[in-house]
Amino acid sequence: MQPTFRRRKFRLLRPALQIRLMVAFGGIALLALGLQFLLFQRAIGEAALAMHGSDAAVVEELAGDLVTTLLVSIGVLLPAVVAVGTSVVLRFVGPLYRFETYLREVLAGRDPGALRLRQGDDLQDLAGLIDRVAEPLRAHNADARRDAANTSAASATDADERRAA
């Protein structure tokens, strides 16, 4: 039997968490680029001054080129960070969302079946552990449903016998 491929949907399962993580990824990328800019500006400025003495025009032109380089770097790096970050966040937040919905189903007395995550999702070991922990509760819920159905059927049979008598 071929495994079914379920395409991940791009939606925010836990918006606050996902946005906070994406802002953190973007912030780290911007800090790295800012530091890179400052270090390049310092190094090139010192080299230009050493080569041309105190030629301020050269330093100003280099500073303009560095700003352009910084903006291009931000334009290329930030979307890449967002794309990679989104993939990582979805592989992490998706299982957390699945754990929450699974546990709510079990606590409500329903049997959601075994807890399974998509291939490639993180936290597979934790999913197995949650499934093993929830198994006795799912079995208890199934027994309670079966007992309730038997009691209901017995009550219906008793009511039918009373009407017949």
Q: Residue 122 is inside which H or E element, if any? A: none
Return the beta strands (E) in the chain as ranges. Answer: none
Name residues whose C-beta falls within 8 Å of residue 128's C-beta, 6 or more positions apart in sequence.
115
**Residue listed under structure tokens 């990582």:** 88
Per residue in 84-142, pLDDT tens?
888 788 888 888 888 999 889 888 888 888 888 888 888 888 888 988 888 888 888 77
Per residue in 50-79, pLDDT tens?
776 656 666 677 777 788 888 888 888 888
Ranges of each domain in the chain? 15-164
Contact yes or no for 84/4 (Cβ under 8 A): no
CA atoms in the 13 A half-sphere facing the CB of 101: 14
**Residue listed under structure tokens 């049997």:** 111
Three-class DSSP category at 25? helix
Contact yes or no for 124/117 (Cβ under 8 A): yes
pTM score of the predicted model: 0.57
